[in-house]
Amino acid sequence: MEKRKGFIFDLDGVIVDTAKYHFLAWKKIATELGIDFTLEHNELLKGVSRVRSLDIILELGNIEASQQDKDKWLIQKNEDYLSYLVDMNETEILPGVMKVLKFLKANNQPIALGSASKNARPILEKTGILSFFDAIVDGNDVVNAKPDPEVFLHAARLLNVTNEDSIVFEDSVAGIQAANIAKMLSIGIGHEETLYEAQYNFKDFTEMNSTFLELLINK
């Protein structure tokens, strides 16, 4: 009988790079508020919820704001972000991702998305890869942000696999921590010095070969 694991992918920075669109949308709001918001500051927002991200930006500018103003800016940020996504297509898929998705599908391995993004489905549709996913858990389905493992636990349940048989691909420290807390196998995609808590590290999916994927399936 063939072995069956559950493969759970984060979205931003793992499958597609929408980080640049988040940055542009946050920068627009920061500029309107007179806050100098740089790419370095943007790293602080990785894997963090929208609400917390806004608080971080306001803290950078020492700005106190009412909940009413915050709510208004959060809506504006999302509308700006979505306007940038309109032209998204399959060229936004990060290198090597398609090869891995196709290999897992060919080997009958269930695949889930586990992302904080509330716009995950439209992004998967626009990039033409929605059909690869057996389950999608996004920001609309969970309450707690990573490093709370809720998003991954929910994805494993939908795939009908145990936590120990779940493999998580993540590019954020909080995401790797969430996978480790859930006793799942964590694979960092990005800089090893940042994602040192991951059990395996790759710069991107082009470094991952079929031998390694077979090893994960048969582990």
168/123 Cα distance (integer angstroms): 19
Q: CATH 1.10.150.240 in the chain, residues? A: 19-85
Q: Mean pLDDT throughout 53-69?
A: 96
73-110 pLDDT, tens digit per residue, is 999 999 999 898 888 999 999 999 999 999 999 999 99
* Range with lowest mean pLDDT among 45-54, 160-169, 190-199: 45-54
Q: Identity (one letter) of the amino acid at 209?
A: N
For domain 6-17+90-218, is the CATH number 1.10.3720.10?
A: no
**DSSP E strand boundaries for 17-165:** 111-114, 135-137
Task: Calculate the dihedral angle through the C-alpha atoms of 176, 180, 183, 187, rounding to the nearest 10 degrees.
Answer: 40
Q: What CATH number labels 19-85?
A: 1.10.150.240
pLDDT at residue number 116: 86
Cα-only R_g, the chain: 18
In the chain, % of residues over pLDDT 70: 99
User: Cβ distance 186 to 197 under 8 Å?
Assistant: yes
* Range with lowest mean pLDDT among 24-28, 87-91, 111-115, 155-159: 87-91
Q: CATH 3.40.50.1000 in the chain, residues? A: 6-17+90-218
Residues that are catalytic: 10, 12
CA distance to 3, 44, 71, 214, per residue, from 218 (Å):
6, 36, 47, 6
* DSSP code of residue 94: P
182/164 Cα distance (integer angstroms): 8
Question: Is a pLDDT exceeding 50 seen at residue 17?
Answer: yes
Q: pLDDT tier at 1 (50, 70, 90 boundaries)?
A: very low
pLDDT at residue number 119: 87
